[in-house]
Structure formats: C-alpha cells, structure tokens
Amino acid sequence: MNKMLQCLPFNWIQEIVNIAAEWIVVVDRDGKVLYMNESYCKFVDRDPDEVIGMDVQDVIENSRMHFVAKTGQAEVAEIHPIKNTEMVANRYPLFIDNELVGAVGTVMFRNAQDWLEYSKKVEPLIEELNYYKKRFEKELVSKYSFSQLIGSTPSFHAAKQLAEKVSASSSAILLFGESGTGKELFAHAIHDASPRRLFPFVRVNCASIPEHLLESELFGYDEGAFTGAKRGGKKGKFEIANRGTIFLDEIGDMSLNMQSKLLRVLQEKEIERVGGNSPISIDVRVIAATHRNLEDMVVLKEFRQDLYYRLNVIKVDIPPLRERIQDIPLIANALLKKLERKFHRHGIQISNEVFQILKSHHWPGNVRELENVIERCVNVLTGNVITPEQLPLYLYENPSNKILLNHDPSHYIKSDLKLTKSLKELIEETERNAVIQALVEANGNKIEAAKLLDISKSTFYEKIKYYNIHRNEIDEFIKN
C-alpha cells in the first residue's frame, strides 16, 4: 500500500470520500453492494449498513452496475434516470491482479442540492433544445396541399392532375417551369399526398449553396473530414430525408462533378459521407425542379444524360402565368386572403379595372410577381377596394393599359362594334406595337426604350423575346 495512504486513519479516508468525492457505489461480480458512501445512501433514502449485500438493482433504480461487473466494459458519462430526474454516471470495471472482481460507480454530484442547482442551470437549456428540435421538425413537413394549388386553365389542371396521380409512387419527378410558377408548391403537395407524408420533407436549393459545400450539405461528413468539421460529424440532407422526400430545386445549376455523385446515390440508393469509409443505405424519393431546358443542356454537355433520365421518370410541366390569364382573378383573390391574414385586415376587394390590367400584363415573374403586386397594393391601400391607383407604376403606365385607364368603359360598348380578335389578342397587339414604338423613338436603344415605357430592362427584354421582335424590323421602322 502507498506509504502516504498508510499515514491516513481509515475513518479519515472514509470521511474524505464522503466530502471530496462523488457519490460512490462498489459491487462484486454478482452485483451485490460492497460499499456505498453516505451521500449516495442519503439520496436513495437508505442506511449505509442496510445496503451492504443487497442487489444493486434493489438499491439504485435503473442501475447498470451489474452489467459492468459481468462484462468488464466501462460506461462513461452515461445519463442515469433516477427519482424522476437525470444524472450523469460513470461505471468502471474493477480489476485486481488482472482479475475482474466487480465494478465501481460514481455520480458527478455529491448531494441532492448540487443536483438541484445543476438542474436549474440545465433546465432552460433543455427547454431551448426542445424548442429548436420542434422547430427543426416543423421545417421538415410539407406546408401545402393540392387544394391550395389554384387554377382551372386546362394546362394547369392537367399538370396538377398528373402530379396528384403520381404522388403515391416512389418514382423520381422532374418539375419544369419558369421561375415563380409554383414548382416548390407542387413539390410540397406531392409529398403531402404521398405515403411518405409522415416522414421528412427536405428542401435544397442547389443554386444557393456554393459548389465546394454542396457535397457535405447533401451527403454529410464524418468527424475530422476537414478543418472545422463538427465533432461527431453531421448528417446530410439525404440522411435527414430518409423514408421521406428530398426536393432538389434548381437542379440545372448543379456542377457536372456533383451530378456524377448524385447519379450514384440514385442508382445505388446509398450515400457516403465526406471523409467516411462506409456507405449508408437510404430510402428517399427525389423531386427535382428547374427552369432551364435540361434537354438542351444535355446536348451541350452541360448536364449528364444518364442523370437526366434518372430524374425525368415523370415530368410535370407547370405553365407560366401568361398562359393562365383566366386564372388571375382566382389566384389574386387567394393571395389577397393570405395577405389579409398577414396584415390583420379583412374585407378587401379588387376592382374590375384592376383585374383587366392584371390580365393584360405579360407576367415575367409569374405568380411570385403577382403576389408582390397584390402585397404592394395592400400596403398602400387606405380603403377596402384596390383600384388602379394602388398598382405599381410599371403596370399603371403600361401603354397597353393606358387605354383601360383613360377611357370611359362605355367607350367600348358600341352597337356597331364588330370584334374579330379576342381581348387577349387585342391587348398583345397593342403591347407589341408599344414596344416597337418605344424602340423606334429610342433609335433602337433597348435601355432607353425600357425607360420610355417605365418598365425594367429585364421585363423589356422578356417582351421582345415573347413578341419575337427582331432588329431588322426596328431598322425598317426607323428608315420609314
């Protein structure tokens, strides 16, 4: 025995253990208590002499000391639920002359008061953790259903019907449509109507994540995979989405290198973390979306053909808003109801004049642009009826809409009026002529022409493309 210990009386050692050490229990190979210090006995409402020889499971609830005494495997920093609370316990096998003779257990708190003080400090942290856990879980659910996809236009109805029909399968879906058409809403609705709806719905915007981070974001990483890697590693989006759905938005912006890695995941149904050595099996349905023409990208070698066919099992074409003019009143009213809740208002209506102007617009930003317009109107509205005066200037001063704004409606109601074109054709003809006239007045300068029409440069370019206006056509006008 150490000479220093020989100098200490036994009762001193016992008192030092009670004062300075953690709660301690010692058991033999059979899990019988050989020693338990006073502070631990006090916590479990037992007399120190009473517990000697008792089975440790009868003294300490949820004890695992007998397992450690049998297996020789230590259990360090384990959560031990006891007396409606939780404490951190350490359990070590006890070897004497290389023979397993029992086990020693310790608790990190010397008395109940210590535990209560610790609980007061930890409880707010646990509550905060639970809050963020619930918030995280809430983010992983679908927020929209098919009933919230508004529209009766045949092309939109066909897209919605197809998406709803294939929701029950696990095949990959490719959503194609311009920016702002509602591709993400379709993805939400598909997941909501699928058998996977009780499992995570994970969204990833491939265009918003830097390429060097996208792999670890999608597939996760192991501890030590790179400088700054979290201890214990991190799950990727595919692991989080296991048994659920992953929505890969803007898939056309993914690099060829990442496309190869994604293809392997779709083929093998397993991922490998960055820095990891073993594959992890996953069961995930993939919904991809893009506004880019992937077929053209395949021809140009910008998108892998094999990945395209993997993703394009079921393709859903979502029409742009300009092809759904008759849906605008329905969509606008639905958006208005949503904004009324946001701004705590009710009873707002949209005038017929506004609907006429909205129907005449080209809508390069699609439903997203329409929502912005309606929100702008609600913000500046003083009464309960949205009139043209609340519309953004680029709609209010659009040449094709000035006719609607500056004339009395009765001007159009004539008994001898013979209509040979639809309203849409008349409006588009007027708008096309206005774009050409602006280009002529600006001597072909598109930026100046856009300023004359008081619309953005991008909107102006969209209209040139839509109306197929060529430079030689403008030059001919200028000459004449």
Q: Which of helix, strand or coil describes residue 439?
A: helix
pLDDT band for position 351 (cuts 50, 70, 90): very high
pLDDT band for position 102 (cuts 50, 70, 90): very high
63 half-sphere exposure, CB direction, 13 A CA radius: 25
Q: Which of 377, 359, 366 is nearest to 430 (CA)?
A: 359
Please tell me which residue, 412 or 181, carries the higher pLDDT value: 181
- Which DSSP string do the residues of 313-348 spell out, in sequence order? TEEEEPPPGGG-GGGHHHHHHHHHHHHHHHHT----
Residue 90 contacts residue 76 (beta carbons within 8 Å): yes
Q: Is the pLDDT of residue 415 over 50?
A: no
What would the pLDDT profile of 305-324 be if each residue is shown by its tens digit? 999 999 999 999 999 999 99
pLDDT score, position 450: 83
End-to-end CA distance of the chain: 115
* Highest-confidence segment of 9-13, 80-84, 305-309, 379-383: 305-309
Please tell me which residue, 432 or 248, carries the higher pLDDT value: 248
pLDDT score, position 243: 93
Amino acid at 414: K
Which helix (H) or strand (E) covers residue 27, if one does? strand 23-28
Place of tokens 């742009």: 320
Q: Which CATH number fits domain 146-319: 3.50.50.60, 1.10.760.10, 2.60.120.10, 3.40.50.300?
A: 3.40.50.300
Q: Is the pLDDT of residue 51 over 70?
A: yes
Q: Which CATH number fits domain 322-412: 3.40.50.2300, 1.20.1250.20, 1.10.8.60, 3.40.50.720?
A: 1.10.8.60
* Rounded CA separation 354/351 (Å): 5
How many CB atoms neighbour CB 120 within 10 A? Answer: 9
pLDDT band for position 80 (cuts 50, 70, 90): confident
Q: Is the pLDDT of residue 416 over 50?
A: no
Q: Is the pLDDT of residue 417 over 60?
A: no
Q: Is the pLDDT of residue 395 over 90?
A: no
Does the domain spanning 16-114 belong to CATH 3.30.450.20? yes
Residues β-bridged to residue 32? 55
Q: Is the pLDDT of residue 29 over 80?
A: yes
pLDDT band for position 407 (cuts 50, 70, 90): very low
Domain boundaries, the chain: 16-114, 146-319, 322-412, 423-479
Give per-residue burial for 20-58: e unless 16+ CB within 10 Å, then b.
Answer: eebbbbbbbeebbbbbbbebbbebeebebeebeebbbee
Does the domain spanning 423-479 belong to CATH 1.10.10.60? yes
Average pLDDT score, the chain: 84
pLDDT score, position 2: 57
Q: Which of 422, 413, 372, 378 is nearest to 395 (CA)?
A: 372
Q: Which segments of 138-263 are extended strands (E)?
A: 173-176, 201-205, 245-249
Q: Is the pLDDT of residue 411 over 50?
A: no
Which two tokens mark 389?
């005066």
Which two tokens mark 356?
């006429």
* Rounded CA separation 36/52 (Å): 8
- How far from 432 is each of 309, 435, 446, 451, 463, CA to CA, in Å? 39, 5, 14, 16, 8
Percentage of the chain exceeding pLDDT 70 = 83
Residues β-bridged to residue 271? 280
Q: Is the pLDDT of residue 250 over 80?
A: yes
What would the pLDDT profile of 82-91 be if each residue is shown by its tens digit? 877 777 888 9
pLDDT score, position 161: 96
Q: Which of 25, 28, 131 is nearest to 82 (CA)?
A: 25
Q: Which of helix, strand or coil describes residue 270?
A: strand
pLDDT score, position 413: 39
Contacts with 60 (C-beta within 8 Å, 6 or more apart), sequence order: 25, 44, 82
pLDDT score, position 19: 63
Find the range with the poorest average confidence among 7-21, 155-169, 197-211.
7-21
Can you give the pTM of this predicted structure? 0.58
Place of tokens 């001597």: 443
Q: Which of helix, strand or coil describes residue 184?
A: helix
- Which DSSP string do the residues of 54-117 spell out, in sequence order? SBHHHHSTT--HHHHHHH---EEEEEEEETTEEEEEEEEEEEETTEEEEEEEEES-SSHHHHHH
| Spacing of C-alpha 177 from chain mean position | 20
Q: Is the dihedral of CA 275, 254, 155, 350 positive or negative?
A: positive
Residue 32 contacts residue 70 (beta carbons within 8 Å): no
pLDDT band for position 38 (cuts 50, 70, 90): confident
How many CB atoms neighbour CB 171 within 10 A? Answer: 9
